[in-house]
A and B are shown apart, each in its own frame.
Chain A
Amino acid sequence: MAVSAENKRRLVTAALVGPAAVWLFTFLVLPFTAVVIFAFGERAPEGGYQPAFTLAQFANLGARSAAFANTLTLAPIGALACLLIAYPVAYYLAIKADQKYRMFLISLIVIPFWTSMLVRTYAWMYLLGARGIPHLLELAGIGDVRLLNTPGAVLLGIVYGYLPLMILPIYVSLEKLDRRLLDASADLGASPLSTFFGVTLPLSLPGVMTGVSLVTILLLGEYLIPQLLGGGKVFFIGNALVDLFLQSRNWPFGSAIAVTLVVVVVAVLLVAMRIAWRVSGTRQVDLI
């Protein structure tokens, strides 16, 4: 029996999409389904999960309000801080930097990623600890300064850890910028500043939105930096989850928080996408 062209096309599509669909189902849908089922269950007497159907876990979310509040404030603040530093860097790389050195400069930003985040965060622990920068400040006569295990240290760790993820998408969108538009703007009498705000910035907004949503979403699940640079005192939702699964062994409550976190992430994504569509006037915006 001959295979019609239409069927052949469908077979090819299935063959191409199939592996991705299987991957998505096995590693995303299945585990997440388990998490949702856990979220409606109860903690077994010795810890873990026992089947039930209750909304008690969701009703108890208020018991982690501090963790939600910390995450939902520090994640956007961290993303904003990253953005303020990343934009000029990306602008310099894409527009100003000499073509000869551009790849070298970009590799300087990417290379730290080759080392484990854990190792780099430990290095910051040393630098911010009493034997690091505070010791130098003391020698300089500035006195007794405490840096480690403060909210400022957590913010520093966030900016340090996530900056490249903000720089690269902005760099990509600025790099695609058609230079003739800048010339045209100048020809028509716009000052460099109004060219920037009228041409460059709007055209790079898709990259900015990608960077902001990428960093915010990852920060919503952050765990390591608050633990190591915040001394376990500045609690994020990620830390609450680790605690509930590894210390309290309250899987259902942990699952309820995880489900809530996923809902928040999806909401953040949808809002970011709406904004990106509006400012760019098109739906051709890749957020991630």
Chain B
Amino acid sequence: MTKKHRENLPISPDDFMHEFMRFKRGSVTRRHFLGVTGLGLATAVMSRIPGAFSTAAYAAGELGTKMSIATWPNYHDPATFENFKAATGVAVEVNVFGSNEEMLAKLQAGATGWSLFVPTNYTISTYHKLGLIDELDLSKLPNFSAATENPRFTKEGQIDGKTYAVPKNWGTTGFAVNTSKIKTPMKTWKDFFEVAQTEADHRAMVHDYQLTTIGSALVALGFGFNSIKPDELAKAEELLIKVKPHLFAINSDYQPGMRATDAWMTMCWTNDGAQLNRDVPSIEYILGTDGGEIWTDYYAIPKDAPNKAAGYALLNYLMDPQNAVKEHIANGAPTTDSRVISLLPKEIVSNKIVYPDEASLTPLEFGAAVTLTDPGRAELMARFKSA
């Protein structure tokens, strides 16, 4: 039996009301009604769009359809989240931040919606003290292997023998220099701030992040990276305000500027340094011989996470060495897990940006917990930016 051509057209408002009244009178079945009016198809389509219709309560153990992660710019292989979605059906929304302070501010304000986030080593004791993160249930993370982790990079995730965070990767904070534009050889943070005012006038970037911007200025002046001494901070402020008119920007997302050659020099983390050098070989990554930062980024689960089940599932997925290798290759930062190192291509393990020799790490310091909450550093950074 052939269908009339009209039957393939979308239903008109009059026909819809006609069918609706017939349905109400009981003269057609629900199935006929949904089919004829197109509502059945619409419902089927809408139910596949997360959030379009609220689904019924999940049965125990189900992961839901979406979760959200808070992390850093250029920090993951986008394919990771696509693959995770293909494997579990959970869509991952990625929130990108420029500083740990900003993450803390959001968590303190409450209800962030994150089910997983990526805090840096020096913040975890404060998160624990403020009751913002949960102890991790390691039985839900079979892919995590404490035995193959390097304790140098894991110890700040543990408090009183309990694990609150597991490491994503470690790295350093140095600076990236486009050597096709800047000819002055540079080795130290002192060089960085000098060249920023001369050869790289209006071409240098500093982070929009107190830890590294103030820390590097302190190091350039011969003080400790983590100092909170008022007289040393005052000298750092003086240096930063002197440099400010010469800067291109104060921004933690510096890759676009460096790639477009708007900026020729920037404070830089290992992973961005490796990505920039891979794509633009004239951009070199330099560790200050006078000091600087070494860091570990961790994964933790916020206490108010709306979808802890999915948070654990994604974390476990990321801890799988096969997935961690792909993340490593895309992101560029060194791993804390020896299982991952053994799977990496040789050119990555021998890359001196990613795995520098021990001697160049010696002058570097881990960030100290006190810098996160010190009002003096917070206010210094704000004054520098609003000067």
A, B from the same assembly: yes
A residues near B (Cβ < 8 Å) are 43, 45-48, 63-64, 66-67, 125-126, 129-131, 146, 148-149, 231-233, 235, 239-240, 243-250
**CA A163 to CA B248, docked complex, whole Å:** 27
Q: In whole Å, how far is B298's beta carbon from the nearest beta carbon of chain A?
A: 19
Pairs across A and B, CB under 8 Å, 21 listed: A46-B108, A46-B373, A66-B386, A129-B260, A130-B261, A131-B260, A149-B262, A231-B250, A232-B250, A233-B249, A235-B386, A243-B386, A247-B382, A248-B101, A248-B378, A249-B104, A249-B105, A249-B108, A250-B375, A250-B378, A250-B382
**Residues on the B chain within 8 Å of A231, using CB:** 247-251
Closest B residue to A132 using CB positions:
B260
Q: Using an 8 Å CB-CB cutoff, how does the interface string of B357-387 with A read, 1 for contact, 0 for none?
A: 0000000000000000101001101110111
- Is residue B9 contacting chain A, with contact meaning CB distance below 8 A? no
**Residues on the B chain within 8 Å of A43, using CB:** 375
Closest B residue to A146 using CB positions:
B202
Q: In whole Å, how far is A172's beta carbon from the nearest beta carbon of chain B?
A: 34
Please give 17 more A-B residue pairs, beta carbons under 8 A apart, in addition to A47-B378, A63-B386, A131-B260.
Answer: A46-B108, A46-B130, A46-B373, A48-B108, A129-B256, A129-B262, A148-B262, A231-B249, A231-B250, A232-B250, A233-B249, A233-B250, A235-B387, A239-B385, A243-B386, A245-B105, A249-B105
**Residues on the B chain within 8 Å of A45, using CB:** 373
Identify which of B202, B251, B262, B382 contacts A248 (C-beta below 8 A).
B382
Q: In whole Å, how far is A61's beta carbon from the nearest beta carbon of chain B?
A: 12
**CA A248 to CA B247, docked complex, whole Å:** 22
Closest A residue to B387 using CB positions:
A66
Q: In whole Å, how far is A222's beta carbon from the nearest beta carbon of chain B?
A: 15
> Given that A45-B373, A47-B108, A129-B262 are known contacts, is A247 also in contact with B383, CB under 8 Å in the complex?
no
- Is residue B210 contacting chain A, with contact meaning CB distance below 8 A? yes
Assign chain B's interface to a size class.
20 to 34
Identify which of A125, A146, A244, A247 contacts B210 (C-beta below 8 A).
A247
**CA A246 to CA B252, docked complex, whole Å:** 14
Chain B binding surface SS class: helix
Identify which of A47, A64, A233, A240 contacts B247 (C-beta below 8 A).
A233
**Residues on the A chain within 8 Å of B210, using CB:** 247
Closest B residue to A228 using CB positions:
B251
Q: In whole Å, how far is B303's beta carbon from the nearest beta carbon of chain A?
A: 15
Identify which of B101, B108, B379, B386 contacts A239 (C-beta below 8 A).
B386
**Is A47's CB under 8 angstroms from B104's CB?**
yes
**Is A149's CB under 8 angstroms from B105's CB?**
no
**CA A183 to CA B281, docked complex, whole Å:** 70
Q: Using an 8 Å CB-CB cutoff, how does the interface string of B13-41 with A read, 1 for contact, 0 for none?
A: 00000000000000000000000000000
- Is residue B244 contacting chain A, with contact meaning CB distance below 8 A? yes
**CA A132 to CA B169, docked complex, whole Å:** 36
**Is A243's CB under 8 angstroms from B379's CB?**
no
**Is A247's CB under 8 angstroms from B105's CB?**
yes
**Residues on the A chain within 8 Å of B382, using CB:** 240, 243-244, 247-248, 250
**Is A246's CB under 8 angstroms from B249's CB?**
no
Closest B residue to A45 using CB positions:
B373
